[in-house]
Amino acid sequence: MIHPSAIVSSRARLGVGVRIGAFSIVHDNVDLGDGCEIGSHCEIGHPSARSGGRPLVIGASSLVRSHSVFYEGSTFGERLVTGHRVTVREGTEAGVNLQIGTLGDIQGTCRIGDYVRFHSNVHIGQHSTVGSFVWIFPYVVLTNDPHPPSEVMRGVTLEDYVAVATMSLVLPGVRIGRGALVGAHSSVSRDVDVDTVVAGAPAKPVCPTADIKLRDGSGQPAYPWRRHFHRGYPDAVVEAWLAEFGHGKAAPTKDHE
Amino acid sequence: MIHPSAIVSSRARLGVGVRIGAFSIVHDNVDLGDGCEIGSHCEIGHPSARSGGRPLVIGASSLVRSHSVFYEGSTFGERLVTGHRVTVREGTEAGVNLQIGTLGDIQGTCRIGDYVRFHSNVHIGQHSTVGSFVWIFPYVVLTNDPHPPSEVMRGVTLEDYVAVATMSLVLPGVRIGRGALVGAHSSVSRDVDVDTVVAGAPAKPVCPTADIKLRDGSGQPAYPWRRHFHRGYPDAVVEAWLAEFGHGKAAPTKDHE
Amino acid sequence: MIHPSAIVSSRARLGVGVRIGAFSIVHDNVDLGDGCEIGSHCEIGHPSARSGGRPLVIGASSLVRSHSVFYEGSTFGERLVTGHRVTVREGTEAGVNLQIGTLGDIQGTCRIGDYVRFHSNVHIGQHSTVGSFVWIFPYVVLTNDPHPPSEVMRGVTLEDYVAVATMSLVLPGVRIGRGALVGAHSSVSRDVDVDTVVAGAPAKPVCPTADIKLRDGSGQPAYPWRRHFHRGYPDAVVEAWLAEFGHGKAAPTKDHE
């Protein structure tokens, strides 16, 4: 299960059935859960003076794709899935089922909830706090320094179910409320209310998320997305969402016509 | 021609004179044309359940630079050239002489014409359709989901000779007409007419492309760029362009003064 | 000091105590100063017809992190530090203590001063001129072609102590004056005066940099940042800065209250 060309420390703790790809390196201070798969050309558990001696812990059934680099001193729940060329620095604490797309750059010292999905090429600055079921789309940056360069760090907070669309920037210290949507190519400089769409640079409130309709001919609302988008989530989660919205019955959006 | 450290499947079909760099991996379901060169640290033909069993086909005389990852299930014409760390997923169909710059991320299930040039760090979303002689500059993203996340996919269409300048975003379902130019740092939310410059967020029409003059003191129009920019195109293509514009004679742009 | 899996040319000139990581390649035309460390999976001194036969020179005590690619034909002063997956093309001339963050893409044919810091994922176009003590933050692009594609190249000039904040674009030929600050998510199309804040797309002057206060409760000005931010700079440099501002004494910003 370990490719003969891989370099795996005898001190690393590997669960049952762990697979390590060709030309990958696994350092000493690493704990990989059962069934984890590491792709080729990775470096896992890169030593760091900033890790405080803590290990890199990756939960069971995770998949780290090729050319990725993880430092020691971070913890991931089960079923982490990454794209290629992901970088994760020290001090990241993430829940279960995190997805990090290709080229993702997680700068460390941040908190990430469960079932979070980062698409390709996102940059999560230090001191970011990301809730559960959050979506971040390509080329989004979460910043932290209000007057760079400085020693003042004000991380961003994204509450549960927030979605930040492509090529948007969230400025230091901003809090984005539960279920809010940041439109593409926006620069968010002020806090965002729950279930609100903001857009522009600087981003301004546009409408409640419920006003956006699905462009599939159904006339149904596009948000909360958990009403209609279930791909990749476990059955128990989807069932809870369906219950929240009346077990999938079509909402009567035109009942007064 | 195959570096001793490379891992090349005996089932891969390699043309005459193929070169494979150090620490690279070539999987089973791969067809590399004559004279192809694969740099170091690549993974070529990454297996995928989504490939439908189709191979990765790369045409003759192609060059894939180091640290790149290509999945099985895509096809490239002759003379593909990539930068470093390119990622190409399943279901990409591209013509001849495609260039993909360093860090390019081609998400798959897209169509790309001939002589297309992607500069560094472009992101081509699934279901994109890119014509021939298109230029895409750094940090451009072609999107596809009108209300992310959802199952509704509306790819972008770029017609022949379109140029999209640096750090621009093309929103889902947008069609950009032949020869149009998207200015830098724009967000294109509506269709763009042929030979038109658009700019801004949201992008608005600025002028016909012919109104932009070359800043080389010549007073000549900068567009269509094929009038003056020929580097890297084959002689037959350049001759056709010269014929289109009167064999390179200076256009009488000020003949009424 | 050289990992057994590394491939190091016998023609490369390695100083005392140089370390080369696993699965890395060092080509012929390379000169690494004493104490340099190259991480894993790198390619150092990639041959190039465009190098004019000049070597890649990296000064003493430098650190190049994993998966990076440097072409021959560039020169770096002592104490270069890079993140992961950095790409540097031919013809880059940089001073001492340059930092290049993860995913940085230095396109070559550019000049960079001393103590410059590029954060993650910056793109430095050809013909850029960057002074000393400059900061460039994530996803910033320095461009060079005023009407792409063309053969007209007009590089950007950043004078000493300039800071360009996240996801900003500097358009071709622009000169940014000493100590100026470009706000996040800006597109700079005109020259910027010294010690001036610009922001927006297109970027417009906002205020003198001295008007921005540190958000640490001190009431002190945030710029020039060398007044308060010293991390990672050598003692002699910091002492000169402290002398410039009265040896660190608090400026009497509220003395008329």
How many whole angstroms separate alpha carbon C38 and alpha carbon A97? 34
How many whole angstroms separate alpha carbon A121 and alpha carbon A87? 10
Please tell me whether residues C144 and C217 are part of one structural domain: no
Q: Where are the alpha helices (DSSP H) in chain B?
A: 235-244
Residue B2 lies in a domain: no
The pLDDT value recorded for residue A247 is 63
The pLDDT value recorded for residue C236 is 95
Residue C1 lies in a domain: no
What distance in Å separates residue B252's CA from the closest CA in chain A? 41
CB contact under 8 A, C167 and A171: no
- pTM confidence score: 0.95
Q: Where are the alpha helices (DSSP H) in chain C?
A: 235-244
Residue A125 lies in a domain: yes
Residue A2 lies in a domain: no
Please tell me whether residues B199 and B226 are part of one structural domain: no
- β-partners of residue C232 are none
Q: Is the peptide bond before B252 cis (omega within 30 degrees of 0)?
A: no
Q: pLDDT by residue for chain B (257 residues), tens digit each? A: 999 999 999 999 999 999 999 999 999 999 999 999 999 999 999 999 999 999 999 999 999 999 999 999 999 999 999 999 999 999 999 999 999 999 999 999 999 999 999 999 999 999 999 999 999 999 999 999 999 999 999 999 999 999 999 999 999 999 999 999 999 999 999 999 999 999 999 999 999 999 999 999 998 999 999 999 999 999 999 999 999 998 654 444 443 33
Q: What is the DSSP string of C68-127?
A: -EEESS-EE-TT-EE-SS-EE-TTEEE-TT-EE-TT-EE-SSEEE-SS-EE-TT-EE-TT
Q: How many other C-beta atoms are found inside a 10 Å radius of the C-beta of residue B99?
A: 18
Q: How many other C-beta atoms are found inside a 10 Å radius of the C-beta of residue C52?
A: 10
Among B5, B146, B150, the residue with its CB nearest the CB of A229 is B150
Please tell me whether residues B113 and B35 are part of one structural domain: yes
Among A67, A151, A167, the residue with its CB nearest the CB of C67 is A67
Name the burial class of residue A254, with classes exposed (0-12), middle (13-18) and buried (19+) by CB atoms within 10 angstroms of its CB: exposed
Domain that holds residue B101: 7-211
Please tell me whether residues A111 and A230 are part of one structural domain: no
Nearest-CA neighbor of A28 among A50, A3, A61, A54?
A: A54
Contact A190, A202 (CB under 8 A): yes
Contact A133, C196 (CB under 8 A): no
Cα-trace Rg, chain C? 20
Residue type at position B140: V
Contacts of C67 in chain B (CB under 8 A): 41, 67, 85
Residue type at position C32: L
Contacts of B25 in chain A (CB under 8 A): 22-23, 40
pLDDT, tens digit (0-9, with 9 covering 90-100), for C56-85: 999 999 999 999 999 999 999 999 999 999
Nearest-CA neighbor of A104 among A76, A72, A65, A132?
A: A65
Contact A40, A22 (CB under 8 A): yes
Among A103, A135, A139, the residue with its CB nearest the CB of B148 is A135
Angle (nearest 5°) at CA B222 between B218 and B224? 135
C90: Cβ contacts below 8 Å, ≥ 6 apart:
C48, C50, C51, C52, C54, C71, C72, C73, C74, C108, C109
Q: Which two tokens stand for residue C39?
A: 């991480």
Q: How many other C-beta atoms are found inside a 10 Å radius of the C-beta of residue B195?
A: 16
pLDDT at C248 over 70: no
What distance in Å separates residue C165's CA from the closest CA in chain A? 7
Contacts of A5 in chain C (CB under 8 A): 5
Nearest-CA neighbor of C49 among C73, C68, C69?
A: C73
The pLDDT value recorded for residue A254 is 40
Nearest-CA neighbor of C103 among A47, A126, A86?
A: A86
Q: Which two tokens stand for residue C38?
A: 């190259």
Among A41, A103, A143, the residue with its CB nearest the CB of C41 is A41
CB pairs under 8 A between B and C: 93
How many whole angstroms separate alpha carbon A27 and alpha carbon A56? 10
Which 3 state secondary structure label does DSSP give B88? strand
Q: Which two tokens stand for residue B195?
A: 């030979």
Among B66, B85, B212, the residue with its CB nearest the CB of C147 is B212
Please tell me whether residues B192 and B81 are part of one structural domain: yes
How many whole angstroms separate alpha carbon B199 and alpha carbon B195? 13
Mutation choice for B interface testing from C70, C88, C147, C167 by most B CBs within 10 A: C147
Minimal-distance CA residue of chain A relative to C216: A152
Mutation choice for A interface testing from B24, B123, B154, B156 by most A CBs within 10 A: B123
Please tell me whether residues C173 and C248 are part of one structural domain: no
Please tell me whether residues B156 and B226 are part of one structural domain: no
Q: If interface means Cβ-Cβ distance under 8 Å, which residues of chain C face chain B?
A: 5, 7, 23, 25, 41, 43, 46, 67, 69, 85, 87, 103, 105, 107, 121, 123, 139, 141, 143, 146-152, 154, 167, 169, 171, 187, 201
Nearest-CA neighbor of A61 among A39, A95, A35, A30?
A: A35
Q: Where are the alpha helices (DSSP H) in chain A?
A: 235-244
Contact C110, C92 (CB under 8 A): yes
What distance in Å separates residue B41's CA from the closest CA in chain C? 7
Mutation choice for C interface testing from A123, A128, A167 by most C CBs within 10 A: A123
Among C22, C121, C201, the residue with its CB nearest the CB of A25 is C22
pLDDT at C252 over 80: no
Nearest-CA neighbor of A50 among A71, A34, A19?
A: A71
Contact C97, C79 (CB under 8 A): yes
Contact A129, A110 (CB under 8 A): yes
Contacts of C167 in chain B (CB under 8 A): 167
Which residue positions in chain A have pLDDT lower than 50? 249-257
Please tell me whether residues A11 and A125 are part of one structural domain: yes
CB pairs under 8 A between A and C: 92
Find where tokens 């992901």 sit: A86
The pLDDT value recorded for residue B246 is 80
Please tell me whether residues A192 and A88 are part of one structural domain: yes
Contact A81, A60 (CB under 8 A): no
Distance linking the first and last C-alpha atoms of chain A: 62
Residue A69 lies in a domain: yes
Q: Is the peptide bond before A252 cis (omega within 30 degrees of 0)?
A: no
pLDDT, tens digit (0-9, with 9 covering 90-100), for C120-179: 999 999 999 999 999 999 999 999 999 999 999 999 999 999 999 999 999 999 999 999
Please tell me whether residues B155 and B126 are part of one structural domain: yes
Please tell me whether residues A144 and A244 are part of one structural domain: no
How many whole angstroms separate alpha carbon B101 and alpha carbon B121? 7
Residue B149 lies in a domain: yes
Please tell me whether residues B92 and B14 are part of one structural domain: yes
CA distances from C231 to A150, B219, C161 (A): 9, 50, 15
Q: What is the DSSP letter of C213?
A: B
Residue C133 lies in a domain: yes
What is the number of structural domains in chain A?
2
CATH code of the domain containing A80:
2.160.10.10
Contacts of C138 in chain A (CB under 8 A): 105, 123, 141, 143
pLDDT, tens digit (0-9, with 9 covering 90-100), for C191-243: 999 999 999 999 999 999 999 999 999 989 999 999 999 999 999 999 999 99
The pLDDT value recorded for residue B132 is 98
How many whole angstroms separate alpha carbon C20 and alpha carbon C70? 14
How many whole angstroms separate alpha carbon C208 and alpha carbon C200? 16
Which helix (DSSP H) or strand (DSSP E) does residue A45 occupy? strand A43-46
Residue C251 lies in a domain: yes
Minimal-distance CA residue of chain A relative to C161: A149
How many whole angstroms separate alpha carbon A151 and alpha carbon A131? 25
Angle (nearest 5°) at CA A61 between C40 and B5? 30
The pLDDT value recorded for residue B229 is 97
